[in-house]
Amino acid sequence: MRNRLTIQEYSGWAGVAIAICLLHLLPAQAAAHGAALSYETVRGIEITALYDSGEPMTGAQVAVFAPDDPVEPWLTGTCDDSGKFFFTPDPDRPGLWEIQARLAGHGDLLRIEVTADSGISGGTTGFTALQKLVMAMAVIWGLTGTALFFSRRKN
């Protein structure tokens, strides 16, 4: 019982394999209904548009505005049946991205900060810079107090 193939047999099998591949390629060129799916993992933003009642804004018109052009939409589309819309912002255009969703006289605007390293920091909080500073100070104060408490116990 042989368990090795000769050079000639290799060549023969390779020829058969190439022929099969070509046979698969030919219909793809000839048929109009051919399709090819592929995927890549991307980081993006999914928004959900709901009415005040909680019902999804199915089919709502969405316009996405890049930070450097608040007038012309960077992307347009529609929400799905669940009121969701997904997009991946251009990481080369950092800043405040704006997403507007509208349907039948109802609409809202969402702002999302996108940083240069394509980190998405979430919707705007509404806090001013001064408020953020005071919060940061409070955190630092708390940490300082904790550190002093433990250092006192050591002494």
Query: Which of 20, 21, 116, 148 is the binder for another protein (CB under 8 A)?
Result: 148
Stated as kind and residue range, the H or E segment containing 96 is strand 95-103
Q: Say how far apart CA 150 and CA 31 lie, in whole Å.
A: 75
> Does the footprint of another protein cover residue 1 (CB under 8 A)?
no
Whether 56 contacts 101, CB under 8 Å: no
Q: Give residue 62's Cα distance to chain centre.
A: 16
Q: Say how far apart CA 4 and CA 73 lie, in whole Å.
A: 63
The nearer residue to another protein, 76 or 88, going by C-beta atoms, is 76
> Does the footprint of another protein cover residue 151 (CB under 8 A)?
yes
Stated as kind and residue range, the H or E segment containing 130 is helix 129-154
* Token duo for residue 49: 């548009």
State the nearest-atom distance from the C-beta of 67 to another protein, in Å: 12
Task: Say how many residues touch another protein, by CB under 8 A.
Answer: 32
Site for another protein in 38-77 (CB under 8 A): 51-53, 55, 65, 70-71
* Interacting span for another protein (CB under 8 A) from 3-11, 28-36, 38-46, 139-147: 139-147
CB neighbour list of residue 68: distance below 8 Å, 6 or more residues apart: 93, 95
State the nearest-atom distance from the C-beta of 84 to another protein, in Å: 19
Binning the chain into helix, strand and coil, the percentages to the nearest 5 are 30, 25, 40
State the nearest-atom distance from the C-beta of 76 to another protein, in Å: 10
Q: Which residues bind another protein (CB under 8 A)?
A: 51-53, 55, 65, 70-71, 96, 100, 102, 104-109, 111, 124, 126-128, 130, 133-134, 137, 140-141, 144-145, 148, 151-152
